[in-house]
Structure 1
Amino acid sequence: MRSWLPYELHTHTFHSDGEHSLQELAASAKDIGLRGIAMTDHNTMSPLLDRQAVEKSTGLHIVQGMEWTTFFGHMLVMGITRYVDWRDLGIDEIHKGIERVHEQGGIVGIAHPFRAGSPLCTGCYWEYEIADWHDIDYIEVWSYTLPSMLTSNQRAFRMWTDLLNQGYRITGVCGRDWHSSAVKPSDPVAVTYLQLEPEEASGTVQDRQVVEAIAKGTVSVTMGPLLLLGLASQGNGSTYGIGDEVPAPHAQSAWEATVKLDMSERSEHWQLTDTDMTVVLVGNLGRIAELAVVSSSLTVSCPIQTEGLSWLRAELHGGIAHCRTMIAFTNPIYFQ
């Protein structure tokens, strides 16, 4: 059965510049209700030598990966089985490195593309020349804690939206860039929910499933409740969800969009400071609808005209950490 499972996709240990071991990191991730993490140490895969033992002791899924940490930008690499080198790549040669990752069946994502660079963070700011954005599988549009409030993340989110408007199907994710086990309760942590199907007998998830979910875009990101988006035809009854593509022709049909909030997921690890929440439906045509969420009903629906739409996502706005901001967003439903 397919389920929405919470993952952290950007982590570090003392094998690079983190403060904890893989065992300590996994235990902390388990304590905050995560189902898995991507192990993305800087330019090394050495902590993964302990992967099987840590997975067995914690029950946490650890996805194999690393973070290319260069002078021209940081790129997250996930789902690989062997180290992939980047040191021979110039500023205009990143696609050669991406090809090496894709040859292993892995995926690549731009990490914190607008975070301040040297000397605060060597190479953090993305400067590689992208000749074809189809090669980029995902972008870390939210990074760090309380991510929606950071100017660098707001720029990354706008860039992602612009790329969607240009027709690129790139997945938006969050990454805490986790270096320390210490978490202040006042610092809301965003997590990336992936729609996955654990193996029936063992309940385990394989790396390839995580890679496929991110590549397809069956992803929802939140600092609070899990946000889900569905689209149903009022004619033939067909339904579509996050990451799906609605086939043509569709503009002649009547459609209804439904947004659901699951307040039970990881509910002990986040707290809203305002019950007044708003769902905004956004697409390549701009704001499509704005719907108030009331506590008596955590499901809101509205009719949608799909003519001219190439993508549609949901955003949740409300109060968290004593500020009003975007709390969650889904990846798009696409239109042929």
Structure 2
Amino acid sequence: MLKWIPAELHTHTLHSDGKQTLEELVQSAVDLGLECIAMTDHNTQSALADQERVQRQFGLPIISGMEWTTFYGHMLTLGVDRFIDWRVLGPDDIDEGIRQVHEQGGIAGIAHPFRIGSPICTGCFWEYTIQDWHEVDYIEVWSTLMPSIKRDSQRAFAMWTDLLNQGYRITAVSGRDWHVSKPDDALPAVTYLGVHDEAEEREGLAGRAVEAIRHGSVSVTMGPLLTMWAQIKGREHRYHIGEYIELTVEDSLSVTVQLDVEARASHYNLKPQNLRLLLTSSHGICSEIQVPAHTGEYTLSLQDPLGKGWIRAELYGCMEDCVMMIAFTNPIYMA
């Protein structure tokens, strides 16, 4: 059984260029209803010296991580608690760095690939040459506050979709790039991680969170939680986000999408309205319905055979006086 954990995967403290201690960061995360964070200071893991103490103090799991901050791009590494020297890597051999991250059991993701670069933010724009995109675990497609309406995030989302269409299985996440907390902050996105529920155990949750990203069990939102599963007609087995379905030409697929506006409801404002719920695939939009802005479950039958590829759910509507993509799931894959 999956449990969906709201998380923040890109954070900074005073140990790099943040304006908050680890305790202040975690307190802010708790106040926002988050249940897990990743500690990703620039080129240092020194803040993790207090990891166990702070986890016990607040009861919030902290994923060990670091943001490789270079002249050619920023790469987030999660699940690694030993320093890997990125300084020896040039623009054409980042794959070797990713290999070393995997060797230690961690995952590697591209941070804000289309953020403005030099001279405003040296290295923020991704310029590394990826030799094998199969080795990239995830991409931060939504970055900073109110990411859904920002052009650099929209470009990153389009890049991720193009990579999916090329046959790569890469997880999409959001990242606040959290340096400071202010009472008048704009709305952040949240990454929900589908972890296997083990009797509500907090111990080991950070490791299960990393595995969720590795396997694509992820949903991203500006507010409400959007999830889905698929079933082949006549069979009971459910295929969840991040999983593969083996389809034949005779198979008919139904997809059930769940919208939960009660999760973290006090931390965003979703006004009464009709929302657009889309099922998008590698062949384009394959289904679209209007749904009310309250918790519900919607099952859609897909008549046309989809063949190989992927399918995901997307939710559109108005938040913060802006018409935007409100949420999206990672894909269910079809082989």
| 2:87 alignment partner, SS class | coil
Offset from partner CA, 1:49-87 (integer Å, 9 cap, x none): 000110011111100000000000000000012011100
Separation in 2, partners of 1:21, 1:210: 23
Match runs of 1:144-293 below 5 Å? 144-184=144-184, 187-200=186-199, 202-249=201-248, 251-293=249-291
Which residue number in structure 2 is paired with residue 335 of structure 1?
Answer: 334
| 2:86 alignment partner, SS class | coil
Which residue number in structure 2 is paired with residue 37 of structure 1?
Answer: 37
Letter in 2 for 1:40: T
Separation in 2, partners of 1:20, 1:275: 38
Identity %, equivalent residues: 51
Which residue number in structure 1 is paired with residue 51 of structure 2?
Answer: 51
Question: TM-score if structure 1 supplies the norm length?
Answer: 0.96
Which residue number in structure 1 is paired with residue 92 of structure 2?
Answer: 92
Separation in 1, partners of 2:200, 2:111: 35
| 1:20 alignment partner, SS class | coil
- Structure-2 change in CA distance of 1:216 and 1:268 (3 Å): same
Which residue number in structure 2 is paired with residue 79 of structure 1?
Answer: 79
CA RMSD of aligned residues (A): 1.4
Separation in 2, partners of 1:261, 1:299: 6
More divergent stretch after superposition (226-235 vs 170-179): 226-235
Separation in 2, partners of 1:308, 1:145: 37
Contact 1:199 1:205 in 2 (8 A): no
Contact 1:284 1:312 in 2 (8 A): yes
More divergent stretch after superposition (64-73 vs 290-299): 290-299
Contact 1:8 1:176 in 2 (8 A): yes
Separation in 2, partners of 1:198, 1:333: 20
Contact 1:75 1:110 in 2 (8 A): yes
More divergent stretch after superposition (202-211 vs 264-273): 202-211
Which residue number in structure 2 is paired with residue 300 of structure 1?
Answer: 298
Offset from partner CA, 1:202-228 (integer Å, 9 cap, x none): 433433212211011000001111001
Contact 1:64 1:81 in 2 (8 A): yes
Separation in 2, partners of 1:173, 1:223: 12
Quote the offset at 1:276 in angstroms.
Answer: 1.7
Which residue number in structure 2 is paired with residue 13 of structure 1?
Answer: 13
Quote the offset at 1:273 in angstroms.
Answer: 3.6
Which residue number in structure 1 is paired with residue 314 of structure 2?
Answer: 315
Letter in 2 for 1:269: H
Letter in 2 for 1:179: H
Match runs of 1:73-152 below 5 Å? 73-152=73-152
- Structure-2 change in CA distance of 1:180 and 1:45 (3 Å): same
Separation in 1, partners of 2:233, 2:205: 36
Separation in 1, partners of 2:33, 2:293: 24
More divergent stretch after superposition (263-272 vs 198-207): 198-207
- Structure-2 change in CA distance of 1:88 and 1:225 (3 Å): same
Separation in 2, partners of 1:208, 1:66: 15
- Structure-2 change in CA distance of 1:290 and 1:248 (3 Å): closer
Contact 1:42 1:67 in 2 (8 A): yes
Contact 2:145 2:188 in 1 (8 A): yes
- Structure-2 change in CA distance of 1:285 and 1:84 (3 Å): same
Separation in 1, partners of 2:293, 2:220: 21
Q: Size of the alignment, in residue pairs? A: 334
- Structure-2 change in CA distance of 1:53 and 1:261 (3 Å): same
Quote the offset at 1:295 in angstroms.
Answer: 4.8
Letter in 2 for 1:51: Q
More divergent stretch after superposition (274-283 vs 288-297): 288-297
Contact 1:281 1:290 in 2 (8 A): yes
